[in-house]
Amino acid sequence: MAGYLPGLWWVVGGGGSSEQEASKKAARSASDNENFITVKTLSIVSGVRFVANELNHFFLKRPTHVLRNKGTNTMTKRVSSESKEEMSDKSRAEILVVDDDAMSRRVLAQLLTAGGYKCRVSKNGSEALETVQAKPPSLLLLDFDMPGLNGAEVLKRLRSDRHSAVAQIPTIMLTAHGSEESEVSCLQAGADDFVTKPVNAAVLRARIETQLRLRSMRRQLERQNDELEEWRRNLERDLAAARLTQQSLIPQKPLALAGWEVATCYRPVIQVGGDIYGWLRMKDGRILFWIADGTGHGAAAALLTTLAKLLFHHGNDEQDTPASVMKAVNHDFRSIFGSSSFMTAMCVAVDPATGSASVVGAGHPPLLVSRHNGKTESVRSIAPPLGLIEQSEFSETPINLEPGDAFLLYTDGLFSWTKDERHRSTPQQLEKMLDHSAPTAEALLKEVLAYAAPDNSVKTSPDDMTVLAVRRMAGQ
């Protein structure tokens, strides 16, 4: 009787006299031909147990007519029908077979080689550890029951290795015990899968392919993670450079102006933000305090704030009034971005000598004025945000700042510093809170910040926050 296994022909003697004669003839040459394997190991790869008596001889013969070159790892005609891509993947995969039984090693090695895999063998656990350390295989086929270091002990040492290439080797455990307890023992030892003996060739192949596919997916994920990590490092470098640029644009010291106090706070969500503020001296001697809030955060927002400062400086150099400055900034901003971007802004032109001021807003939160008598007023924006409408008209709202009066310029991020969405503060609530006179601009700023983020555990906000407090000193 003859049959076929991947890469192996098997011949079973017993029955008719002609079959017995054929099996005896095969037996005489078995010791001289490495392509013959006794039936003792047939059950290892077939999943079928054969029982021989005195008259029967069982032999396996590898078909020499399908070998391309004797002594080399080749594939059978049956396997060669697979796609070239799959064959290429297999040829790159190297499997280490660890089994103390020589026949088992030989049969498994032939089966794997016939399936297109590269194969190495180790006869015990200690040798396997040395082999893996020298060159980690793609997959480990490990016998559970071995003298000395058994499969569980070998796998325990591999899994604890500090090198991920060793610790994460996909491992299929071979066990002669088919009980649930044995299966649990294999998995607890760190095996990725297990196959019971006698080994079914189709099952073994399917599980090997599954583990190699998972290994490939894991390595691909690791490469993607490495790429993401590199991208993150590059982003951090870009943000650090953008932060240095933005810091150079934001005033580092309060304005030194006789009779006036200035206090500021700037808190971006990340290293750089979309808020920007500053002050300029106008042609008529007034001081133009301005603030802007661009869309977004990060490097893109930093570039936007850089542009905003340039536009305000350019507008102040070319124009004479705060309304005309805002109109020039809107025109230039719109000419650069069209309608694809916008920013809110507000400016206050103050005469330091008299305290008279003019306010112009473009979609920005209202200016808050804290009077020395404890009252609070607000001045709302009339025009839309900069960049939305090409021919926006800007009008000025006059106010007078007496000694002890102060005003607040801020961005809407001031109302984002809360842990509870239901208790988020508003400009109206802030206006009511300021119904008393603060002794200094710094004290006013601290009160505002304490109101916006009363809980010290609140460390972050979904938006950038900027506050500019300007106060006319009493007696001036």
What's the pLDDT at 76?
A: 40
Q: Which residues contact 18 (CB under 8 A, 6 or more apart)?
A: none
In single-letter form, the type of residue at position 396 comes to: E
Identify the residue whose tokens are 């006299």.
17
Q: What is the largest CA-CA distance in the chain?
A: 129
Q: pLDDT value at position 113? A: 92
User: What is the pLDDT, as a whole number, of residue 3?
Assistant: 40
Question: What pLDDT does residue 305 have?
Answer: 84
Work out the end-to-end distance of the chain between its first and last CA atoms, rounded to an integer number of angstroms.
117
Give 458: exposed, middle or buried? Use CB within 10 Å, 0-12, 13-18, 19+: middle
Please report how many Cα atoms fall inside a 13 Å half-sphere around the Cα of residue 100, on the Cβ side: 12
Query: What pTM was computed for the model?
Result: 0.58
Measured CA to CA, the distance from residue 191 to residue 200 in angstroms comes to: 18
- The confidence score (pLDDT) of residue 423 equals 54
Domains of the chain: 1-66 (no CATH), 71-249 (3.40.50.2300), 251-472 (3.60.40.10)
**Residue 149 — φ and ψ, nearest 5°?**
-80, 115
How far apart CA 396 and CA 381 sit, in angstroms, is 10
Assign 227 to helix, strand or coil: helix
Give every residue of the chain whose pLDDT is below 70, as ranges.
Answer: 1-91, 178, 270-271, 297-298, 417-425, 435, 453-463, 476
Instruction: Please report the pLDDT score of residue 292 as a whole number.
Output: 94
Pairing of strands 171-175, 193-196: parallel
CB atoms within 10 A of CB 359: 26
Token pair of 64 as six digits: 């020499």
Q: Are 330 and 276 in contact (CB under 8 A)?
A: no
